[in-house]
């Protein structure tokens, strides 16, 4: 950007402001390189070394090539490949929470945006359903533990009603522990998804709904033929960011099961596995697990990036100064 | 004639639909609030009262539980809340200021590699902190920064998501003529940013400060790996500690009070600012 500026003595001087661009973005890049990029390289680097501690004795670091990865995918004495088991756990826990999350959020978004239904008290409902999203996951999980523990009030209530036997333990069954984690994840995220999908629906040209209705389409047809196709980019964006969030699942199952992933490690997630190696500490294995998680998020993140940048180019071409609150609620 | 009856049938259908929809909404709201309601109620009950089981009515032991929790010898919750507050407030300020600064650098100036800078930040936006945690902890340990606030605050300077939000916001509210006008008036580039641009970004900054405060307050994974000294621990670490301690020996009234204290600051912020928070949720995501 070159600018002509008139000096006091009347001569013209050319000023370039480019250097200010560099100055302003420098702190970001210094911080990024120092706290993310170098650690990222170190993490990958570590994954090629044998480096752990047994008691007070430190082993390594010795270069071992792909040995850590090999070990990661080797079956334990029971014949299970732990990382696959934990990846499957993570997937199951995510699906159990995400399916109701997206179904309910979609329904609520349709309810809230329907002119025919004309729902009153929307801001109250939105305020309540979004609230769990801001709650500290560790505290929410601790709360569930106390409420559902053997001596907790929920167990007591269900015993009084005769639904449960006193010998029942919510934390001894795969179904109930997974159910609790899924319920918490559902509660924490469905409000958020509702609000984003709602904004997406409100961004669709209203006249399309009207003309579809005039042409005789019923609401189910309108949903599948008009709303859903136009909402697809936002829906997929939500879905993939939710998946990336799902891969990071840690606080809730960690606190709920004290890191054990009861019962039998069936609620242990990938990041809980990583956490175990970080604490052991076994840097080599922690590095290898990190790389695996990185690859999974990288693939999913790539899709989000593609969508965002396509969207971005599209918008800046169409209207350089687009209206701010165009479709934000 | 047929039209009229169609209309009434439609009206009845609509009424039924409305009843169903409101029932679903109320059910979901109850579900969202139920566990927190139980928490608040249970924080007013003594250990003996809690042993009697489920109750929906409050008792009179709130302040007793509060004093017990506040003065607990093993879990120093006031210290934890102070640590969390210092970290979360500093992170909120640093993240929003530097994200706005970076976004302004990309928005207002033309320079070589600008496109690359933008593409790079967008590309790394989705990478979670966990995948570089190992290297981060090693590096911070080497710098002697374990049990320090610094590694939990300063990395906030580089927050790609907040940057993206700020950049989008600037495109809609910040015309470049304003910057030119300031230049003609002899304002330096930094002064223009701090005194003219920042005030124009107030709504975006407010929303992002809230979000960064909340996510820092709730952050558990990295702090738990870096903070070992008792008086450096943050609230989520203390809550997790509560879970791994010998549970049967605890005064349950105190436990509920700890959980309440952990989430209370965020709830208060939310009650006051829920409107702008909810508005902020959608911004920064893809738009139709």
Query: What pLDDT is recorded for position A28?
Result: 96
A251–B220 C-beta distance less than 8 A: yes
B102, part of any domain: yes
Burial of B56 (0-12, 13-18, 19+ CB in 10 A): exposed
Query: What pLDDT is recorded for position B248?
Result: 65
Domain boundary pick from B38, B67, B96: B67
H/E run at residue A108: helix A82-113
Asked if B55 and B72 sit in the same domain, the reply is: no
- Are the C-beta atoms of A284 and B262 separated by less than 8 Å? no
With contacts defined as CB-CB under 8 Å, which chain B residues touch A275?
A: 221, 225
Residue A54, SS3? strand
- B114 shares contact with chain A (CB less than 8 Å): yes
Distance CA A108, CA A205 (A): 19
Question: What angle is formed at CA A191 by the lines to CA A186 and CA A196, rounded to 5 degrees?
Answer: 120
Asked if B72 and B36 sit in the same domain, the reply is: no
Query: What pLDDT is recorded for position A286?
Result: 94
Query: What pLDDT is recorded for position B171?
Result: 86
Query: What pLDDT is recorded for position B179?
Result: 86
Tokens standing for B124?
């790394």
Using pLDDT thresholds of 50, 70 and 90, give the confidence band for residue A87.
very high
B223, part of any domain: yes
What mean pLDDT is reported for chain A?
86
Tokens standing for B259?
């959980």
Across the interface, of A190, A203, A308, the residue whose CB is closest to B122 is A308
Looking at the complex, report in whole angstroms how far the Cα of residue B229 sits from the nearest Cα belonging to chain A: 16
Query: What pLDDT is recorded for position B105?
Result: 93
B17, part of any domain: yes
- Are the C-beta atoms of A178 and A148 separated by less than 8 Å? no
Asked if B196 and B212 sit in the same domain, the reply is: yes
Looking at the complex, report in whole angstroms how far the Cα of residue A76 sits from the nearest Cα belonging to chain B: 24
B156, part of any domain: yes
Domain boundary pick from B45, B67, B89: B67
Query: For residue A184, which of A226, A240, A117, A138 has the smallest C-alpha distance?
Result: A138
Place of tokens 């732990």: A82
With contacts defined as CB-CB under 8 Å, which chain A residues touch B39?
A: 143, 147
Greater confidence, A16 or B210? B210
Q: Per-residue pLDDT tens, chain B, 288 aa: give them.
A: 455 566 788 888 889 999 999 999 999 999 999 999 999 999 999 888 888 878 888 889 899 999 999 998 888 999 999 999 999 999 999 999 999 999 999 998 989 899 999 989 988 888 888 999 999 999 999 999 999 999 999 999 999 989 988 998 898 888 888 888 888 888 888 899 999 899 999 888 988 999 999 999 999 999 999 999 999 999 999 999 988 876 667 788 899 999 999 999 999 989 988 888 888 777 644 433
- B84 shares contact with chain A (CB less than 8 Å): no
Distance CA A213, CA A43 (A): 56
Domain limits for position B203: 68-282
Asked if B30 and B168 sit in the same domain, the reply is: no
Looking at the complex, report in whole angstroms how far the Cα of residue B18 sits from the nearest Cα belonging to chain A: 6
Query: For residue A224, which of A80, A106, A306, A65 has the smallest C-alpha distance?
Result: A106
Asked if B98 and B60 sit in the same domain, the reply is: no
Across the interface, of A117, A278, A305, the residue whose CB is closest to B126 is A305
Domain ranges of chain A: 1-44, 77-318
With contacts defined as CB-CB under 8 Å, which chain A residues touch B223?
A: none
Asked if B118 and B156 sit in the same domain, the reply is: yes
Query: What pLDDT is recorded for position B277?
Result: 84
Residue A242, SS3? helix
B287, part of any domain: no
- A116-125, A147-156, B153-162, B201-210: which is most confident: B153-162
Residues A26-82 pLDDT 10s = 999 999 999 999 999 999 999 999 888 887 888 878 898 898 999 999 988 888 899
Reduced DSSP (H G I as helix, E B as strand, rest coil) percent helix, strand, coil of chain B, to 5: 80, 0, 20
Looking at the complex, report in whole angstroms how far the Cα of residue A75 sits from the nearest Cα belonging to chain B: 24
Query: What pLDDT is recorded for position B7?
Result: 77
Torsion sign across C-alpha atoms A53, A57, A62, A66: negative
Asked if B183 and B57 sit in the same domain, the reply is: no
Domain count for chain B? 2
Looking at the complex, report in whole angstroms how far the Cα of residue B66 sits from the nearest Cα belonging to chain A: 17
Rounded to the nearest angstrom, the gap between the alpha carbon of residue A80 and the centroid of all alpha carbons in its chain is 27
Asked if B14 and B120 sit in the same domain, the reply is: no
With contacts defined as CB-CB under 8 Å, which chain B residues touch A204?
A: 288
Provide the 10 A C-beta neighbour count for residue A281: 18
Residue A326 pLDDT greater than 50, yes or no: no
- Are the C-beta atoms of B232 and B144 separated by less than 8 Å? no
Distance CA B33, CA A135 (A): 12
Query: What pLDDT is recorded for position A195?
Result: 92
Residue A318 pLDDT greater than 70, yes or no: no
Using pLDDT thresholds of 50, 70 and 90, give the confidence band for residue A14.
low
Using pLDDT thresholds of 50, 70 and 90, give the confidence band for residue A109.
very high
Asked if B138 and B254 sit in the same domain, the reply is: yes
The number of CA neighbours under 13 Å toward the Cβ of B79 is: 13
Residues 124-153 of B with CB under 8 A from A: 124-139, 151
Distance CA B215, CA B211 (A): 6
Rounded to the nearest angstrom, the gap between the alpha carbon of residue A89 and the centroid of all alpha carbons in its chain is 16
Torsion sign across C-alpha atoms A43, A261, B240, B40: positive
Domain boundary pick from B67, B89, B124: B67
A123–B109 C-beta distance less than 8 A: no
With contacts defined as CB-CB under 8 Å, which chain B residues touch A231?
A: 288
Q: What percent of chain A has pLDDT over 90?
A: 46
Residues A168-222 pLDDT 10s = 889 999 999 999 999 999 999 999 999 999 988 988 888 888 888 888 888 888 8
Using pLDDT thresholds of 50, 70 and 90, give the confidence band for residue A327.
very low
Asked if B129 and B164 sit in the same domain, the reply is: yes
Query: For residue B287, which of A232, A234, A325 has the smallest C-alpha distance?
Result: A234
Tell me the fold of A77-318: MetI-like fold (1.10.3720)
Indicate the Cα dihedral angle A79, A82, A87, A92, nearest 10°: 60
A111–B21 C-beta distance less than 8 A: yes
Distance CA A198, CA A242 (A): 16
Burial of B195 (0-12, 13-18, 19+ CB in 10 A): exposed
Residue A311 pLDDT greater than 60, yes or no: yes
Tell me the CA distances in angstroms from A194 to A35, A110, A189, A248, one per residue in order. 34, 9, 9, 21
Strand A2-6, strand A49-54: pairing: unpaired
B288, part of any domain: no
B53, part of any domain: yes
B217–A130 C-beta distance less than 8 A: no
Residue A162 pLDDT greater than 90, yes or no: no
The values of phi and psi at residue B243, to 5°, are -70, -35
Asked if B37 and B54 sit in the same domain, the reply is: yes
Residues A236-294 pLDDT 10s = 888 888 988 999 999 999 999 988 888 888 999 999 999 999 998 899 999 999 999 99
Provide the 10 A C-beta neighbour count for residue B114: 17
B278–A126 C-beta distance less than 8 A: yes
Residue A157 pLDDT greater than 50, yes or no: yes
Asked if B111 and B30 sit in the same domain, the reply is: no
- A276 shares contact with chain B (CB less than 8 Å): no
Looking at the complex, report in whole angstroms how far the Cα of residue A243 sits from the nearest Cα belonging to chain B: 11
> Residue B81 is part of a domain; what is its CATH number?
1.10.3720.10
With contacts defined as CB-CB under 8 Å, which chain B residues touch A234?
A: 285-288
With contacts defined as CB-CB under 8 Å, which chain B residues touch A128?
A: 29, 32-33
């Amino acid at each position: 950007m070159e600018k002509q500026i008139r000096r006091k003595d009347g001569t013209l001087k050319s000023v370039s402001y480019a250097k200010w661009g560099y100055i302003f973005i420098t702190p970001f890049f210094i911080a990024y390189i120092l706290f993310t990029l170098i650690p990222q390289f170190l993490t990958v680097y570590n994954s090629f070394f044998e480096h752990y501690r047994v008691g007070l004795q430190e082993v390594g670091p010795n270069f071992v090539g792909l040995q850590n990865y090999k070990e990661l995918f080797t079956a334990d004495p029971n014949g299970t490949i732990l990382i696959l088991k934990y990846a499957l756990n993570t997937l199951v826990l995510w699906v159990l929470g995400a399916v109701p999350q997206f179904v309910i959020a979609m329904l609520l978004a349709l309810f809230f945006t329907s002119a025919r239904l004309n729902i009153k008290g929307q801001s109250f409902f939105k305020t309540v359903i979004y609230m769990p999203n801001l709650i500290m996951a560790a505290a929410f999980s601790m709360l569930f533990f106390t409420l559902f523990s053997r001596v907790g009030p929920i167990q007591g209530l269900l015993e009084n009603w005769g639904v449960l036997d006193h010998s029942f333990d919510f934390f001894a069954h795969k179904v109930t522990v997974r159910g609790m984690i899924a319920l918490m994840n559902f509660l924490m995220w469905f409000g958020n998804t509702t609000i984003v999908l709602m904004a997406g629906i409100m961004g669709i040209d209203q006249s399309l709904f009207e003309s579809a209705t005039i042409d005789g389409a019923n609401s189910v047809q309108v949903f599948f033929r008009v709303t859903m196709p136009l909402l697809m980019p936002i829906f997929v964006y939500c879905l993939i960011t939710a998946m990336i969030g799902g891969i990071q699942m840690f606080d809730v199952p960690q606190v709920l099961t004290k890191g054990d992933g009861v019962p039998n490690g069936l609620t242990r997630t990938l990041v809980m596995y990583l956490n175990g190696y970080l604490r052991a500490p076994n840097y080599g294995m922690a590095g290898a697990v990190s790389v695996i998680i990185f690859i999974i998020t990288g693939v999913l993140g790539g899709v989000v990036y593609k969508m965002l940048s396509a969207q971005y180019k599209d918008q800046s071409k169409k209207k350089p100064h687009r209206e701010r609150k165009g479709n934000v609620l | 004639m047929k039209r009229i009856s169609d209309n009434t049938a439609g009206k009845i259908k609509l009424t039924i639909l409305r009843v169903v929809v409101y029932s679903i909404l109320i059910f979901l709201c109850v579900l969202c609030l139920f566990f927190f309601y139980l928490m608040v109620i249970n924080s007013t009950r003594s250990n003996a009262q809690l042993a009697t089981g489920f109750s929906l009515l409050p008792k009179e032991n709130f302040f007793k539980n509060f004093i017990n929790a506040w003065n607990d010898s093993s879990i120093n919750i006031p210290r934890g809340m102070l640590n969390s507050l210092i970290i979360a407030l500093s992170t909120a300020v640093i993240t929003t200021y530097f994200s706005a600064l970076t976004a302004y650098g990309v928005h207002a100036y033309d320079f070589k590699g600008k496109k690359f800078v933008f593409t790079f930040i967008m590309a790394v936006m989705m990478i979670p902190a966990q995948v570089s945690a190992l290297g981060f902890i090693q590096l911070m340990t080497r710098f002697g920064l374990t049990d320090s606030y610094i590694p939990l605050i300063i990395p906030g300077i580089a927050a790609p998501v907040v940057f993206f939000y700020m950049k989008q916001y600037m495109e809609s509210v910040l015309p470049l003529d304003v910057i030119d006008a300031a230049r003609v008036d002899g304002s330096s580039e930094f002064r223009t940013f701090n005194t003219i641009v920042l005030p124009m970004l107030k709504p975006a900054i407010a929303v992002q400060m809230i979000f960064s405060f909340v996510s820092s307050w709730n952050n558990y994974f990295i702090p738990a790996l870096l903070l070992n000294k008792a008086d450096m621990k943050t609230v989520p670490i203390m809550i997790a500690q509560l879970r791994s301690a010998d549970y049967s020996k605890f005064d349950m009234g105190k436990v509920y009070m700890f959980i309440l204290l952990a989430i209370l600051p965020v709830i208060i912020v939310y009650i006051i600012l829920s409107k702008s928070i909810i508005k902020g949720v959608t911004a920064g995501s893809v738009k139709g």
